[in-house]
Amino acid sequence: MKKTLTRIISMTICGLMYGIALQVFFLGVLLSKPLEAQTIQSVKDVEISMNLSNATLTDCFREIEKQTNYKFSFDHTIIDKQVRFNFKTKNKSVSEVLLEISREAGLKFKQVNNNINVQRLEYNGNSGKAIEILIQGITITGRVTSSEDSEGLPGVNVVVKGTTQGTVTDVDGNYTLEVPSTDAVLVFSSVGYLKEEVIVGNSSIIDFVLMLDITALEEIVVVGYGTQQKKDVTGAVSSVSTEKTRDLPNYSALQSIQGQVAGVSIVTPERPGQDPRFLIRGNNSLTASNTPLVVVDGIIYNGNVSDFNPNDLAKIDVLKDASAAAVYGSRAANGVVLITTKTGTTDRPKFNFNSYVGFQEPEKLVPVMDGKRYEQKISDFNDILFASNPNASPIVLTNVEMENRDAGRETDWIDKSLRKGIINQYHLDVSGRSENTNYYVAGTYYKEEGIVKNDNFERITLNMNLTTHITDWYSVSFKSAYTHKDYSGMEASFDQAYRQSPYGSFYDEDGPGGYAFLPIGDQLGEHPLMRTLIDDYDHNNSLWGLVSSNLEIPFIPGLKWTMNFSSNGRNDKEKRFYDNETTVDGQLRNGIARRVHRDFFDWTFDNILSYKKIFNHIHSLDLTLLYSREYRSIDYTFAEASTFVSQALGYNNLELGEIRASNSNFEEQNSLSQMARLNYSFDSRYSMTLSVRRDGFSAFAPGNKFAVFPAAAFAWTITNENFLNDVNWLDYLKLRLSYGENGNQAIDRYSSLAKIGINQYLFGNGGTSISTFTINSLANKSLTWETTVAQNVGLDFSIFNERLNSSVDIYYSRTTDLLQDRSIPQITGFATVLTNIGEVENKGLEITLNSVNLRKGKLIWESGFAFSLNRNRIVSLGGVDANKDGIEDDDISNGWFIGQPYDAIYGFRTDGIWQLNNDVPVPFRAGDFRIVDVNGDGVISPTDDRSILGSESPNFRVGISNTLQYNQFSLYAMINWVQGGGKGNYYVGDNYETRSVNRRGFSSFSERFNLQDVPYWTPNNPSEEYPRLDYFPPFNHPILEDRSFLRIQDVSLAYNFDNTLLDKFKVQNMRIYASVKNLYTFTSWTGYNPETQTTIYDLPFLRSYTVGIDFSF
């Protein structure tokens, strides 16, 4: 009943929000009207009469517009809604009214013809003119658009250089201006864009594209539970617009920031529909989650980032240091990713359509042996086998293999299992805004056919944002996002493809689907494509909603109360049936049917009270208080049946299976939080942020449920000091210092409690089976939070008229009370208990550079550089000293070592291969690895001769981006460079790990012989790099390879059509583009992908080619 009611409420709210959005859209269309011709007079010459009481600034502007031909243009964020006016004037000039408004509201006005542009009046000792009047032979018309999205820009100042003649563009970016001669120079300027100049010449129509000012774009930064001006930010915060990567086929928004943010590592998976893995500033925990927190539009989001289409996102901010993230307390130990979704930006309804189509292919395929080399490998194996055991049975080809060999038939099983991948997407959105309402509605369909046959994925996303200002002091926002994902269908078995003989038969007319069961070793193996015949249903649905109420207290200027409530319901349904013909398992159990159902539900309720005030024009105060509640639950059901009497209904009737099993569970958790934050800035020179958050989590035992996490940060904007006034090349310099504590609550919900299980026991002579309850794990009432303490020193600077902008950060963090399973005496009946022991630290360096390398006429070249270096080290593992040598013990079983990174590589060192002429010690043979005797005692021992060989973590990461624009063309390229780190390449290593070889020459775990062709050791080919084929290592050790790589990650080319042509078709803008993703990787790694590959069965890394179109009307 509870779940049904929740579902009904969610659907009702969602339907209501979409209905309101449609009403707003149609009203906007019906009420829009064309501009009318107007006469031009100075505000000093136009008189009005006003009778207003307790009127807002907007009321005053609207009243002036009613009585005159003037139109006001302003940014709503500069309007103080708390300032009120009382006017009782008769026949008073507009300029006099505006002067009075200027004094009270701190605004200045610029009249350009009949447009009045409103701006904030700066208090810097010289306020300048409160009112500026620019009233104007040759008539010039044109349209000004943005380089970011080719949209028309309203409110752009277009002025004849050296004069006061000018105008302001209308809502669509159009303008008309009279100039004195063809030698006149037009100056285009707008807030957030670079000022540009153009000579009129013989042109009567001048369309112009304004380039974004990078520094101005970052002026407002999203921080936890609010925003700040960039100049006042004290923490390590990185902001990224998704516009640069909008022409790339990014499935997830995280791919949009890959390589652009220093300190953030993002690894893209190879399978369709999977979320990228990402970290911020390394691993802070050994067993708990290291995944950063995701916040969408100001509220914590517990779903997947891929639930949102990148087209629907406007901006991504990353909080990296503890002071910036501390407002999220126990959820922020691993950093925070803040996602801001798009809203309406134009005064009229705007439709935007974007679509791309493309194909995917393996960026690299590692070649395997052909038939001749396969036979040679078998022959070489037999020679080595007989040398050690003359009575061994030789490995021979089967009759089918010999028949195919003699007929000249070979099968490339990898090629047969792969296909050309196809990706396509269709996106449509409509957006707009009016004085009181802002809306954005979008729908997207994404489909990907992976490179492995039958590996398919589809996603449908619907997104809606609606904000309505009911009064000047109260607004309500409704936001919702629905996502449907379809993973149905079993893909071809890539690992089975690696186990087949090149002389094997691909087809068998008597087999299921025309495929043959194939022998693998002494067992019956599956055809790689047999899995594609399995009846498989795998759907995922997600519905997220956010209702936000914003109340600006009228009688206390600057005081604001915000209530946010969000809920998110997600469900996964998996249904699968293995018939008794298609798979080996299905045959052995006469059919298997399985159903899995997971329901995830969570809600978050935030109460936020904020107060902003500027005192005496130099003291800026921003106080935020938070009270938050959060609830999460998981409902899981599993059912399976086998030995079917009839397979006609498959997974739709499990009762037809004679053997049935089921399992279900329900889990829930609660969180409670309070937070206080103070931001203070003095004269835009000294800034301070102080915060404290108290978190409570139900997973911990009484007495440990609550923890407090403080933070502090300070910033000094040095360029605002008088002693740097004469340093003209330095535009901006700020020093940042921060300290903060964050917790990690990412543990099992019932970790502090003892867990009870059920066991079966036999009693009595008859052996009656009785179910009994047993304790499976011990309780730990002392279990508490992992806590990360972090410090950060940062420097932001801009030089050479903002041609180069940079941020440099040095950080250090230490996590204490690590959650680990600690060994306890066996007399307790248990081997381990979860407890808080151990410490780990991270330290690193981050450098971000953004430069304008060239700006000459219509040619612009910009670059970005992101460098990050992280060093991880285990400080303590609980202080255990079992051998009493005074040194804390390592945890060898988990691969954790004091003073080493969490992913240290521990093993034997090798020094070539033992050769026939060597004095080979027992138990080794010629062709084995020569393992180094580290302690020199003459005996190879896993206790004394293993050592740290390196780490899997890279030495550093670099992202380099370049954007080149010329006329309507734009080119974007991103290079991703990862240097250092090692890993065992199992693709190569499994060549020799044949272990207990059976008569077919396969290992006991059925690895095939036909792997990558490496120069293995034979008596006639005494390799010094790879051992003999039947090498069975007495002590396991990997073949290490360097994981360094340099990848041309993204390349896109776009063309924006001329607006003169588009206007004929009533199209605002149109862009066509082509892109390549993962064009090429330079690496010595012999496998597929050095960044992600762990086994020989991992999929190849993908290269994508796409073409697309984007247009608005």
Q: pLDDT tens, 948-973?
A: 988 999 999 999 999 999 988 999 99
373-390 as b/e, with b when 16 or more CB fall inside 10 Å?
ebbebbebbbebbeeeee
For the cut 60, the answer to whether the pLDDT of residue 19 exceeds it is no
Confidence of residue 356 (pLDDT cuts 50, 70, 90): very high
Q: Distance between CA 612 and CA 616 in Å, rounded?
A: 14
Confidence of residue 516 (pLDDT cuts 50, 70, 90): low
For the chain, first and last CA: distance in Å?
Answer: 46
Tens digits of per-residue pLDDT, 210-224? 876 644 434 566 777
**Are 433 and 439 a contacting pair, CB within 8 Å?**
yes
Backbone angles phi, psi at 1061, to 5 degrees: -70, -40
State the DSSP code for 254. Answer: G
Q: Distance between CA 138 and CA 152 in Å, rounded?
A: 23
In 3-state terms, what secondary structure has residue 69? coil
For the cut 50, the answer to whether the pLDDT of residue 13 exceeds it is no
Alpha carbons within 13 angstroms on the beta-carbon side of residue 880 total 15
* Superfamily in which the 47-215 domain is placed by CATH: Carboxypeptidase-like, regulatory domain (2.60.40.1120)
Run of H or E including 697: strand 686-697
Most confident range (mean pLDDT) of 209-213, 311-315, 468-472, 1046-1050 is: 1046-1050
Confidence of residue 603 (pLDDT cuts 50, 70, 90): very high
pLDDT at 1036: 64
Task: State the alpha helices, DSSP H only, in 791-906.
Answer: none
Tens digits of per-residue pLDDT, 485-497? 999 999 998 878 8
C-beta neighbour count of 501 within 10 angstroms: 26
pLDDT at 766: 62
- State the chain's maximal CA–CA distance in angstroms: 119
Q: Residue range 116-120: average pLDDT?
A: 86
For the cut 60, the answer to whether the pLDDT of residue 862 exceeds it is yes
pLDDT at 502: 86
Confidence of residue 1033 (pLDDT cuts 50, 70, 90): low
Q: Dihedral sign, CA of 907, 908, 909, 910?
A: negative
C-beta neighbour count of 204 within 10 angstroms: 12
- Tokens found for residue 690: 């102080």
* Residue that is written with structure tokens 């396509």 in the block: 424
For the cut 90, the answer to whether the pLDDT of residue 672 exceeds it is yes
47-215 and 240-344 in the same fold:
no
For the cut 90, the answer to whether the pLDDT of residue 745 exceeds it is no
Q: Distance between CA 908 and CA 955 in Å, rounded?
A: 22
28-49 as b/e, with b when 16 or more CB fall inside 10 Å?
beeeeeeeeeeeebebeeebbe
pLDDT at 30: 33
* Residue that is written with structure tokens 């997220």 in the block: 544
Q: Using alpha carbons only, how large is the chain's radius of gyration in Å?
A: 34
- Tokens found for residue 937: 């005692």
Confidence of residue 85 (pLDDT cuts 50, 70, 90): confident
Backbone angles phi, psi at 293, to 5 degrees: -80, 140
pLDDT at 1012: 63
C-beta neighbour count of 396 within 10 angstroms: 13
Backbone angles phi, psi at 1105, to 5 degrees: -120, 130
Confidence of residue 692 (pLDDT cuts 50, 70, 90): very high
For the cut 70, the answer to whether the pLDDT of residue 35 exceeds it is no
Q: Distance between CA 420 and CA 451 in Å, rounded?
A: 6
Sheet strands (E) in 64-172:
71-73, 85-93, 107-112, 115-120, 131-134, 138-146, 157-160, 166-168
pLDDT at 270: 77
For the cut 80, the answer to whether the pLDDT of residue 171 exceeds it is no
Confidence of residue 519 (pLDDT cuts 50, 70, 90): low
- Tokens found for residue 1066: 């009533």
| 673: exposed, middle or buried (Cβ count in 10 Å: 0-12, 13-18, 19+) | buried
Alpha carbons within 13 angstroms on the beta-carbon side of residue 159 total 17
pLDDT at 763: 67
Residue 842 CB partners (closer than 8 Å, separation 6+): 281, 282, 283, 284, 811, 812, 813, 870, 871, 872, 873
Question: 1.10.10.2840, 1.10.3720.10, 3.40.50.300, 2.170.130.10: which CATH number matches 240-344?
Answer: 2.170.130.10
Confidence of residue 522 (pLDDT cuts 50, 70, 90): very low
pLDDT at 271: 81
pLDDT at 524: 53
Using a pLDDT cut of 90, give the percent of the chain over it: 34
Confidence of residue 16 (pLDDT cuts 50, 70, 90): very low
Q: Residue range 222-247: average pLDDT?
A: 78
pLDDT at 218: 45
The full 3-state SS of 257-289, as one line of letters, equals HCCCCCCEEEECCCCCCCCCEEEECCCCCCCCC
Cis status of the peptide bond prior to 923, with omega within 30 of 0: yes
Confidence of residue 610 (pLDDT cuts 50, 70, 90): very high
Q: Residue range 563-567: average pLDDT?
A: 95
pLDDT at 242: 77
Beta partners for 678?
623, 690
Confidence of residue 148 (pLDDT cuts 50, 70, 90): low
Strands 1069-1083, 1102-1112: parallel, antiparallel or unpaired by DSSP?
Answer: antiparallel
Rama region for 1096: left / alpha / beta (φ>0; ψ in -120 to 50; rest): alpha
∠ CA 36-40-43, nearest 5°, is 120
Tens digits of per-residue pLDDT, 239-250? 888 777 888 888
For the cut 60, the answer to whether the pLDDT of residue 21 exceeds it is no
947-968 as b/e, with b when 16 or more CB fall inside 10 Å?
eebbbbbbeebbbbbbbbbeee
State the DSSP code for 891. Answer: B
Q: Distance between CA 464 and CA 431 in Å, rounded?
A: 10
Question: Of 906, 916, 912, 941, which is closest to residue 929 (Cα–Cα)?
Answer: 912
pLDDT at 567: 95
pLDDT at 452: 93
Confidence of residue 518 (pLDDT cuts 50, 70, 90): low
For the cut 60, the answer to whether the pLDDT of residue 29 exceeds it is no
* Residue that is written with structure tokens 């060898």 in the block: 892
| Domain definitions of the chain by residue range | 47-215, 240-344
Q: What is the overall mean pLDDT for the chain?
A: 83
- Tokens found for residue 579: 């018939």
Q: Residue range 32-51: average pLDDT?
A: 65
Confidence of residue 779 (pLDDT cuts 50, 70, 90): confident
- Tokens found for residue 93: 């000039």
pLDDT at 120: 82
- Tokens found for residue 991: 């060549």
Confidence of residue 234 (pLDDT cuts 50, 70, 90): confident
- Tokens found for residue 554: 């009228």
Tens digits of per-residue pLDDT, 407-463? 999 988 889 999 999 999 999 999 988 878 899 999 999 999 999 999 999 999 999
Task: State the alpha helices, DSSP H only, in 826-979.
Answer: none
Per-residue DSSP letters for 238-251? EEEETTTTTTS--S
pLDDT at 517: 62
For the cut 60, the answer to whether the pLDDT of residue 591 exceeds it is yes
- Tokens found for residue 586: 């299905």
Most confident range (mean pLDDT) of 266-270, 762-766, 792-796, 817-821 is: 792-796
What length does the chain have? 1113
**Are 375 and 397 a contacting pair, CB within 8 Å?**
yes
- Tokens found for residue 391: 């009575």
Q: Distance between CA 1089 and CA 1043 in Å, rounded?
A: 9
pLDDT at 335: 87
Q: Which of 80-84, 205-209, 797-801 shows the lowest mean pLDDT across its residues?
A: 80-84
What Cα–Cα distance (Å) separates residue 138 from each residue in 144, 163, 174, 203, 700? 19, 15, 17, 10, 77
Q: Dihedral sign, CA of 875, 877, 880, 885?
A: negative
| 1006: exposed, middle or buried (Cβ count in 10 Å: 0-12, 13-18, 19+) | middle
For the cut 50, the answer to whether the pLDDT of residue 15 exceeds it is no
Q: Which of 356-365, 541-550, 576-585, 1057-1066 shows the lowest mean pLDDT across its residues?
A: 1057-1066
147-178 as b/e, with b when 16 or more CB fall inside 10 Å?
bbbbbbbbbbbbbbeeeebbbbbbbbbbbebe
Q: Residue range 306-329: average pLDDT?
A: 85
* Residue that is written with structure tokens 């350009």 in the block: 112
For the cut 50, the answer to whether the pLDDT of residue 993 exceeds it is no
Question: Of 581, 582, 664, 670, which is closest to residue 633 (Cα–Cα)?
Answer: 670
Using a pLDDT cut of 70, give the percent of the chain over it: 88
Q: Residue range 661-689: average pLDDT?
A: 92
Question: Of 1047, 1038, 1050, 1055, which is closest to residue 1096 (Cα–Cα)?
Answer: 1038
